[in-house]
């Protein structure tokens, strides 16, 4: 395996060299070679995604394809700071354990009947995944799920454990599609559209398609998971035991702590401003409102406000838990796309692809959705979206389908890895309990994948990104 990894690691630069030599060193071919190098490393992940994303900053100035100042600007794009602010907000939710309290509150109110319990886990997991990473959400929800299952008799556990655990994984994946900061593919798409097409996509612009997709996919997932589940798996006593455990856990938390109160205020303040931002410019025109400014304001508050004890809500030490590699990945993707755009590479590619414009739009959306859903079972969704968005832009120019319409099936599909344990961290986390089998996940996952493809294509015929 080590030898194979070493070969793959060298494949990227060798491929870049061969493509450059084939084009006799012309800038278009050099660019294509570096893009191929990055594609190989992103797809295989033999080198960390963030490290691969630094290649444009390293190579383009050396090869006179751009200046260091120009390239560095992509890594400091305003949207990178929007996502930084979102990550800081998520960090505060986790550090204060407010996310755990919210999850228990939802579970208390969805009931403890079989389907109600599964709905509760899906709602709690999905809501938290809108704001914090799907990995952190799954890690938080897993011990809650196993503790709830632990109060059941062994026979009932065997019937409910797999549906409950699968609901946690699927809801963690689906929930992130709701908001622009919910999952990296959404963020990468927003940054690409802003930089390449001067089409800013903020929180409210994304919400109609993102939230609708989350609701439709969530309801479908709930139907698949509960389909075939015997009625009244839990008897009255077991329902009471489950409700008692949730109530005891909730009561053990006590009232909101000072730090949780303050994080809740900042969280509410931030979400409200994101939702109202389109109207703020009309109400208070002297301030230039943007999603980035709102996110940074919340981040600064979280570092500046006291926690009600002797420290601040967040200290800089806490930022070691931020996904810095993802922020660099955004910058690298923007840098690659920006230099390709400046070299007219997209236009040249579109000329070669213009004969493909004969197919109906829905066929293209279907093809892109299939690629997004099934490729992300094997590849990182961040790498997949970063690698394919430049190609889709060329295709969009060639066939006359707007870029947002053509690429949304890829972006939404990249969050729909429902089959394999290794496809996403939430899948792997619940699989690690040993209670799920691959056959169980694949059988239900392939049905969900196929329905997700159809639903995404149908959804995009009805709703899209608002202007």
What pLDDT score does 111 carry?
A: 65
**For residues 216 and 122, is the Cβ–Cβ distance under 8 A?**
no
The mean pLDDT value of the chain amounts to 83
The 8-class DSSP code of residue 26 comes to -
What pLDDT score does 336 carry?
A: 81
- Angle, vertex CA 17, rays to CA 72 and CA 2, nearest 5: 90
The 8-class DSSP code of residue 229 comes to P
What pLDDT score does 215 carry?
A: 95
Percentage of the chain modeled with pLDDT above 90: 21
Q: How confident is the model at residue 91 (pLDDT cuts 50, 70, 90)?
A: confident
Is the alpha carbon torsion for 369, 375, 381, 385 positive or negative?
Answer: negative
Q: How confident is the model at residue 237 (pLDDT cuts 50, 70, 90)?
A: low
Identify the bridge partners of residue 306 per DSSP, sorted by sequence position: 312
**For residues 9 and 46, is the Cβ–Cβ distance under 8 A?**
yes
**For residues 80 and 333, is the Cβ–Cβ distance under 8 A?**
no
Question: Which residue is associated with the tokens 């997932």?
Answer: 221
- Average pLDDT on 290-303 reads 90
3-state secondary structure of 462: helix
Burial, 113: exposed, middle or buried (Cβ in 10 Å; 0-12, 13-18, 19+)? Answer: middle
Q: What are the tens digits of pLDDT across the range 105-132? A: 877 777 667 677 888 889 989 988 888 8
- The CA distance from 39 to 230, in Å, is 47
Number of alpha carbons in the 13 Å side-chain half-sphere of residue 76: 6
- The CA distance from 381 to 333, in Å, is 13
Q: Which residue has the higher pLDDT, 349 or 138?
A: 138
Q: Which residue has the higher pLDDT, 289 or 264?
A: 264
> Does the pLDDT of residue 328 top 80, yes or no?
yes
Q: How confident is the model at residue 224 (pLDDT cuts 50, 70, 90)?
A: very high
What pLDDT score does 346 carry?
A: 61
- Angle, vertex CA 224, rays to CA 221 and CA 227, nearest 5: 140
> Does the pLDDT of residue 153 top 60, yes or no?
no
> Does the pLDDT of residue 73 top 80, yes or no?
yes
Q: How confident is the model at residue 223 (pLDDT cuts 50, 70, 90)?
A: very high
Query: 397 to each of 128, 198, 385, how far by Cα in Å?
Result: 37, 15, 18
Q: What are the tens digits of pLDDT across the range 344-392? A: 666 666 666 666 667 788 888 998 999 889 888 877 788 788 888 888 8
3-state secondary structure of 312: strand
């Amino acid at each position: 395996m080590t030898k194979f990894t070493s070969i793959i690691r060298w494949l990227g630069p060798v491929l870049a060299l061969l493509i450059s030599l084939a084009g006799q060193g012309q800038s278009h071919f050099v660019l294509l070679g570096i893009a191929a190098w990055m594609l190989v490393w992103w797809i295989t992940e033999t080198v960390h995604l963030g490290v691969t994303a630094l290649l444009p900053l390293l190579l383009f100035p050396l090869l006179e394809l751009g200046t260091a100042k120009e390239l560095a600007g992509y890594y400091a794009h305003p949207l990178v700071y929007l996502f930084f602010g979102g990550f800081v907000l998520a960090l505060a939710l986790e550090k204060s354990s407010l996310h755990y309290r919210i999850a228990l509150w939802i579970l208390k109110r969805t009931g403890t009947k079989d389907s109600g319990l599964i709905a509760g886990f899906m709602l709690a997991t999905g809501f938290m995944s809108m704001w914090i990473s799907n990995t952190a959400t799954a890690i938080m929800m897993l011990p809650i799920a196993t503790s709830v299952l632990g109060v059941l008799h062994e026979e009932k556990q065997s019937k409910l454990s797999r549906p409950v655990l699968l609901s946690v994984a699927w809801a963690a994946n689906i929930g992130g599609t709701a908001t622009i900061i919910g999952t990296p593919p959404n963020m990468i798409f927003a940054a690409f559209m802003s930089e390449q097409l001067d089409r800013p996509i903020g929180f409210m612009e994304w919400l109609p398609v993102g939230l609708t997709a989350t609701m439709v996919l969530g309801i479908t997932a709930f139907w698949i998971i509960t389909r075939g589940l015997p009625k009244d798996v839990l008897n009255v006593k077991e329902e009471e035991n489950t409700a008692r455990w949730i109530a005891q856990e909730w009561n053990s938390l006590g009232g909101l702590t000072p730090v949780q109160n303050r994080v809740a205020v900042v969280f509410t303040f931030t979400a409200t401003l994101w939702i109202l931002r389109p109207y703020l410019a009309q109400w208070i025109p002297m301030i230039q409102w943007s999603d980035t400014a709102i996110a940074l304001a919340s981040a600064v508050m979280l570092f500046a406000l006291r926690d009600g004890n002797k420290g601040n809500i967040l200290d800089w030490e806490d930022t070691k838990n931020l996904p810095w590699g993802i922020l660099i990945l955004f910058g690298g993707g923007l840098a690659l796309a920006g230099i390709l755009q400046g070299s007219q590479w997209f236009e040249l590619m579109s000329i070669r692809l213009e004969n493909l414009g004969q197919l109906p739009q829905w066929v293209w959306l279907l093809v892109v959705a299939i690629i997004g859903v099934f490729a992300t079972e094997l590849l990182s969704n961040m790498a997949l979206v970063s690698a394919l968005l430049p190609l889709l832009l060329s295709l969009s120019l060639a066939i006359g389908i707007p870029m947002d319409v053509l690429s949304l099936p890829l972006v939404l599909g990249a969050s729909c890895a429902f089959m394999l344990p290794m496809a996403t961290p939430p899948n792997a986390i619940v699989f690690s309990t040993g209670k799920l089998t691959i056959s169980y996940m694949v059988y239900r996952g392939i049905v969900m994948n196929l329905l997700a493809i159809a639903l995404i294509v149908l959804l995009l015929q009805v709703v899209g990104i608002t202007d």
